[in-house]
Structure 1
């Protein structure tokens, strides 16, 4: 049976519950942060400075790689779970994903070509990349809102939190270490203190001490002294980076 628009709206309204397992919240905080930061970096890049141009190009390519991987993760795990128990809910977002992959290819190609362009053409090309990236970010902000309302509502109506955690764990098992570290760098600083403590507390129990230490080392420079103090106190760790007990 297909879900009607009215039923979809009812499912979206259910997303007001903050107590349920939320498979989208953390990664979407990371994506919003890295998208915004990359967009701002491209906007302020000096087209007369080859290093600025190269840096802008590299940042856009890295963002596109992350976004493409994110789409694949959701296609492989989130959409099948939704369609298995609430058929029809993920159709609109699935079509968005097709369009996003095309947009990702266009942005990646433009960013790759940018450093090799004639200097007289780079200013215009850099600005065009900035404008196109801004549309990509705007579209993704709306897209993520739909996932965090409509999709979460569907998942919460059809799955227990234990089942949702199993889906999340299965997805995480497919994420390469380098991508996971990149996500942690952007996700953890954007979380509030309790979310951050929950994620790192769980990681501390399941990850080898060197991996946990590496995550702390990546995140610490991006936290305010106050947030770092809250985190180390919550974890029972010394405030000096690099002193995690096995």
Structure 2
């Protein structure tokens, strides 16, 4: 039986979307009407999401870490300070981009691109500490029951729509067996709403990913379109 990993899957989703955002910001045609605002909104949404994620970790994971492995918790606090500064710099660049004069837009776009990549650099280092220092410390000093309780408490704190958003962000970045295992548990818990929940949770998958998932679940794809509320 594999150990409970509180970081792995969600971090894979975050990496994938950060990398995608960097590529798409770098290649965006900033001269096109509305593009500056679109890219600004995307960057601000990302920093908001990452801040909320850090709050969730503090609430449901890191309190246990501080109790059992304070040195590992201290390492994360140092990473948070660097991250906060990078988030602020990115937010400032993002907010000013839509009002930048046309003749300065290209330079402003690149400055925002650099600020985003500074966030990515800092965030990757932070994820590495969580995955190679914090999680091993929790495996050593906390029981599987305690780790399971932490994960269950987080899930219980999410509304149905928040839980679906979490899945949509994470599932495209996971390998097929992991994706299928997660979705299998989700639709099992959904009961009579299983079909609609499956359809709603998989909207961000590519056609190939979705086809493989339905194959792994051994269900016809049409089954997930039965619930009009989620279709």
User: What residue in structure 2 maps to residue 43 of structure 1?
Assistant: 26
Shift of 1:23: 0.5
Shift of 1:125: 1.2
Instruction: Work out which structure has the larger RCO, using CA pairs closer than 8 Å and 6 or more positions apart in sequence.
Output: 1
Shift of 1:216: 3.0
For structure 1, the 5+ residue unaligned runs are 1-17
Q: Distance in 2 between matches of 1:45 and 1:157?
A: 46
Contact 1:184/1:215 (<8 A) preserved: no
Q: Is 1:235 the equivalent of 2:195?
A: no
1:15-164 alignment, distance < 5 Å = 19-164=2-147
Q: Distance in 1 between matches of 2:117 and 2:207?
A: 28
1:138-188 deviations in whole A, cap 9, x for unaligned?
221122112111111101112222221110121233345554333322211
Contact 2:172/2:204 (<8 A) preserved: no
1:47-76 deviations in whole A, cap 9, x for unaligned?
211322122111111111111101111122
SS in 1 for 2:221: coil
Contact 1:57/1:112 (<8 A) preserved: yes
Q: Is 1:202 the equivalent of 2:185?
A: yes
Contact 2:47/2:87 (<8 A) preserved: yes
1:98-152 deviations in whole A, cap 9, x for unaligned?
3322322331232122112222222211110001111110221122112111111
Q: TM-score, normalised by structure 2?
A: 0.87
User: What residue in structure 2 maps to residue 8 of structure 1?
Assistant: none
Shift of 1:95: 2.0
Q: Distance in 1 between matches of 2:141 and 2:212?
A: 36
User: What residue in structure 1 maps to residue 151 of structure 2?
Assistant: 168
Q: Distance in 1 between matches of 2:150 and 2:204?
A: 31
Shift of 1:221: 5.0
For structure 2, the 5+ residue unaligned runs are none
| Count of residue pairs brought into register by the alignment | 226
Contact 1:60/1:111 (<8 A) preserved: yes
Q: Distance in 2 between matches of 1:167 and 1:142?
A: 24
SS in 2 for 1:173: helix
Superposed CA RMSD in Å reads 2.2
Contact 1:33/1:186 (<8 A) preserved: no
Q: Distance in 2 between matches of 1:66 and 1:212?
A: 28
Name the stretch that deviates more: 177-186 or 29-38. Answer: 177-186
Q: Distance in 1 between matches of 2:197 and 2:100?
A: 38
4+ runs of 1 displaced by more than 6 Å? none
Contact 1:114/1:122 (<8 A) preserved: yes
